[in-house]
Amino acid sequence: MKLAIIGNLEKPGLGDAVAKLVKELGNGAGEYVIDEQMVPLLRASGVHMGADHPRSFADCVKEGDLLVAFGGDGTILAAARAVGSRGIPILGVNLGKLGFLAELSPEELPAVTGDLLAGKFLVEERLVLEATSPALSGKTIHAVNDIVVDKSRSSRLIDVHTHINGAFAVTYRGDGLIVSTPTGSTGYALSNSGPIVIPTCGVFGITPISPHTLNGRPIIVPDTSLIRIVVESDSDEVLLSSDGQADVFAKPPLEVTISKAGFPVRLVKRVDRSFFDVLRAKLFWGADARVL
């Protein structure tokens, strides 16, 4: 099992966190490659390695059997985009704040490194969204969390006409629309009052952003659905984005077709930790707000 180590260079404490894993691997525990951009940070943390370990980010993704991503959820989403359809499992090590995707803290690494190298871990497959649009000039975009259309820099409301499997469903009038996977239900959709969905459910969420009317409600649809949205607005442009990355600024009307991608993203999960454990820890479920 060859580990490929990458990380968010802007995260404080990245060098010390990665050093915990590299020291374990340096003791002969296993084979690894590491993003060459992190080598100076490791040297500053007192860790030196041979010339056969550093690689470019792209080569790390190509060579690794398991990708270890240090950072927050954004780092893991970036890793998933880099992996694409290749199916390499991704383990997130949390250096962020909230973080629903990262499975470990840096302090837990020494205790689990042996299991990782021996392949003793669960791999959970998560749905990926696929979107096409004439505005993308033939490009197809993918998202682990969500595809979003919004009003960009304008103060004007937009109308999002939403069709499911060819049938007109609803027109949302507001700031935009989020189409999310179960993984993305705890992201942008949650901040817009969307439901929390168990990650392994075969559904997509459709959640309006700041709807202008009280009857604009979220919808849950099967992941076999073909979702077509048409955005109309009096503003000069609207934005189409995937996992928080701006893909195109387009002049309305904008048409986008969204469906399930032909491949999943594979996340490494701990055997002894459930999704509900994560929710209780991150969202303080069941805690008395008076004593927080």
- CB-based contact 11:18 (threshold 8 Å): no
**Pick from 128, 121, 136, 134: which is nearest to 65 by CA?**
121
How far is C-alpha 205 from the chain's CA centre? 15
Measured CA to CA, the distance from residue 118 to residue 218 in angstroms comes to 43
- The token pair at 237 is 């442009």
- CB-based contact 210:148 (threshold 8 Å): no
Among the options 73, 146, 150, 175, which is catalytic? 73
Active site residue 288: no
Residue 41's SS3 state is: helix
Measured CA to CA, the distance from residue 82 to residue 67 in angstroms comes to 11
Dihedral of the CA atoms 226, 125, 273, 195 (nearest 10)? Answer: -10
Measured CA to CA, the distance from residue 195 to residue 244 in angstroms comes to 19
Length of the chain: 292
- The token pair at 14 is 């990245």
Instruction: Indicate the pairing of strand 219-222 with strand 203-209.
Output: antiparallel
Residue 284: phi and psi, rounded to 5, are 60, 40
Catalytic residues: 73
